[in-house]
A and B are shown apart, each in its own frame.
Chain A
Amino acid sequence: EVQLVESGGVVVQPGGSLRLSCAASGFTFDDYAMHWVRQAPGKGLEWVSLISWDGGSTYYADSVKGRFTISRDNSKNSLYLQMNSLRGEDTALYYCTKGSDVGTTTLLDYWGQGTLVTVSS
């Protein structure tokens, strides 16, 4: 059974930094790309970032480019999202999601339960 468990969500002040983590199990982690998707309270889904199976390729939504960094540690079956220069509009539930293949398509076949990031003073 595929399991994705996010952690790291907290209340942080504007301009602050935060690192989200996702522990994956139930599949061969380094066979798949991984993604982060977020959902602001009461709003729709927003794709945030993608990392290829080997970490060699990364992509970002324009809204987070230059502020967020996605990474992975295949030896630990873990995905990360380093979030810097946080803004109020980054307040959201952040989902760790499994890609359906190794590369740069963005089909998401399994989702974690999410971790809540609140940016507020």
Chain B
Amino acid sequence: DIQMTQSPSSLSASVGDRVTITCRASQGISNYLAWYQQKPGKVPNLLIYAASTLHSGVPSRFSGSGSGTDFTLTISSLQPEDVATYYCQKYISAPGTFGQGTKVEIK
């Protein structure tokens, strides 16, 4: 099975900072990569799919890029409401393996 590896596992940044999270697949998955946001105590929400397409209602400060094995989630200007754990997931086929998550905090 394809493994998904995220880095870093956690980060702390200031409001307004540009934040980047990376996700690597152990085999190529084309652009079948999604990002989910899980705020503390809340249900996960789909953020980005097809590596770079924002889900409905997601602010434009979020963006995604990549194809094949290497992917990136970027928050262009970190806001207090972005405090959350972010997960990547490959969805080309079952199993729908998630990365281990990246916890984003405000410095």
Is the pairing of A and B real?
yes
Residues of A within 8 A of B (CB): 35, 37, 44-47, 50, 59-62, 95, 100, 104-114
Within 8 Å by CB of A112, from B43, B55, B85, lies B43
- Residues in A with CB closer than 8 Å to B97 are 47
Shortest CB-to-CB span from A72 to chain B, Å, is: 16
Pairwise interchain contact B98-A109, C-beta atoms closer than 8 A:
no
Q: By the criterion of a CB under 8 Å from any partner CB, how many residues of chain B are at the interface?
A: 26
Beyond the given A44-B98, A109-B55, please list 14 additional residue pairs across the A-B interface where CB-CB is below 8 A.
A44-B100, A44-B101, A45-B36, A45-B101, A47-B89, A47-B98, A60-B95, A62-B95, A95-B43, A104-B93, A106-B94, A107-B46, A108-B89, A111-B44
Known contacts A45-B87, A105-B32, A105-B92, A111 near B98 by CB under 8 Å: no
B27 interfacial by beta-carbon distance below 8 Å = no
When chains A and B are docked, how far (Å) is the Cα of A95 from the Cα of B98?
Answer: 14
B28 interfacial by beta-carbon distance below 8 Å = no
When chains A and B are docked, how far (Å) is the Cα of A47 from the Cα of B95?
Answer: 7
When chains A and B are docked, how far (Å) is the Cα of A117 from the Cα of B5?
Answer: 27
Nearest chain-A residue to B101 (Cβ)? Answer: A44
B3 interfacial by beta-carbon distance below 8 Å = no
- Residues in B with CB closer than 8 Å to A114 are 43
The contact string, 1 if C-beta is below 8 Å from chain A, for chain B 71-97, is 000000000000001010111111111
Which residues of B, 28-51, contact A by the 8 Å Cβ criterion? 32, 34, 36, 38, 43-46, 49
* Chain A contact residues: helix, strand, loop or mixed: strand
Known contacts A44-B98, A45-B87, A45-B98, A105 near B44 by CB under 8 Å: no
When chains A and B are docked, how far (Å) is the Cα of A95 from the Cα of B85?
Answer: 17
Nearest chain-A residue to B96 (Cβ)? Answer: A106
Pairwise interchain contact B43-A61, C-beta atoms closer than 8 A:
no
Which residues of B, 48-81, contact A by the 8 Å Cβ criterion? 49, 55
When chains A and B are docked, how far (Å) is the Cα of A50 from the Cα of B91?
Answer: 12
When chains A and B are docked, how far (Å) is the Cα of A113 from the Cα of B45?
Answer: 11
Among B45, B89, B95, residue most surrounded by chain A Cβ atoms (within 10 Å): B95
Pairwise interchain contact A107-B87, C-beta atoms closer than 8 A:
no
Return 27 A-B CB contacts under 8 Å, by A number: A35-B96, A37-B44, A37-B96, A44-B87, A44-B99, A44-B100, A44-B101, A45-B36, A45-B44, A45-B101, A47-B95, A47-B96, A50-B96, A95-B43, A95-B44, A105-B32, A105-B91, A105-B93, A106-B89, A106-B91, A106-B94, A107-B46, A107-B91, A108-B96, A109-B46, A109-B49, A112-B43
